[in-house]
Amino acid sequence: MPVNDPIVAEQTPRADLTIDQKWDLYSREEHEIWNTLYDRQMGVLKGRAAPEHFRGLELLNLNEGGIPDFRRVNEKLMKLTGWQVVTVPGLIPEKEFYDHLANRRFVSGRFIRDGDRLDYLPEPDIFHDVFGHVPLLTQPVFADYMQAYGEGGLRSLQFDAIKRMARLYWYTVEFGLIRSDEGLRIYGAGIVSSRGESIFSLEARSPNRIHFDLERVMRTDYRYDDYQQTYFVIDSYDELMEATAVDFAPLYERLPTLPEFKPSDVQPGDTVYQKGTQEYAMSGGLKGDAIAV
């Protein structure tokens, strides 16, 4: 929980770990930070983000300025796909997270990053959660995928497979790329909400870009503190839904017998769109000075 948000600190979470957003208590400065982030990202995402992201922003009126009021967002989102956004005080346990998704509730933090930390934040804030994630929940297939992911996550608890499900979420919902007639586009929220990674993920020569394969993804570790060394690419949201709408139990039984892959690995069976140089990671990543493009 962000210790600098007294509105969060003063609330006792409900049994499902939600709290009230208390939109009326956001400061003018907090709304201005949202506007700065929004305007900056919209400039970077033109020609880079999937068109469904822009449509979602318009359908939910997330482009009207200031931090969105979840009451207004949910009125529109519920009519479109039956989803709603709920506020939580910070990161929550996997079981509760999965349960919210399985019941078409997307969890969001309340706080927004400080004005002097616009480019990097170790924990997700409301800009990442809402600007990054919520627009695609207006798209029926992706909305169904998110619910199915939550249901699968709950089942994964029986198989001690949280790590496998976390990798699937990371490489799709957070850092996924999608092919289009105009070329690769971003749909993952972790990229969409990051100015630097929006450019890096599509244009840098450093990372691998490999076609999505469920088993491959579940065997692949990831970078949680820097730009990714590998991005997985889908052809469509239907492909993603179909690939994951299966019983994972046989996969969970088989995976422990198979080797794990490092974030930088390229394997013989991969469909490779680009084998990266990995020069960014080898130079120290965010600790270094350059982003190779």
Tell me the percentage of the chain whose pLDDT exceeds 70: 95
DSSP tag of 160: T
Nearest to 269 by CA among 220, 207, 204, 222: 220
Residue 34: phi and psi, rounded to 5, are: -55, -50
For the cut 50, the answer to whether the pLDDT of residue 229 exceeds it is yes
| pLDDT score at 115 | 75
The first and second tokens of residue 213, run together, are 């394969």
The first and second tokens of residue 143, run together, are 């909305």
Every domain of the chain and the residues it spans: 6-287
Do the bridges between strand 84-88 and strand 183-186 make them parallel or antiparallel, or are there none, so unpaired?
A: unpaired
Half-sphere CA count of 145, side-chain side, radius 13 A: 21
- The mean per-residue pLDDT over the stretch 239-251 comes to 95
Q: Torsion-angle region of residue 90: left (phi > 0), alpha (psi -120 to 50) or beta?
A: left
- Give the CATH architecture of domain 6-287: Orthogonal Bundle (1.10)
0.85 exceeded by pTM:
yes
Mean pLDDT check: name the lowest of 33-37, 111-115, 189-193: 111-115
Chain mean pLDDT for the chain: 94
For the cut 90, the answer to whether the pLDDT of residue 127 exceeds it is yes
CA distances from 162 to 100, 155, 253 (A): 16, 10, 13
DSSP tag of 49: B
The first and second tokens of residue 23, run together, are 């939109």
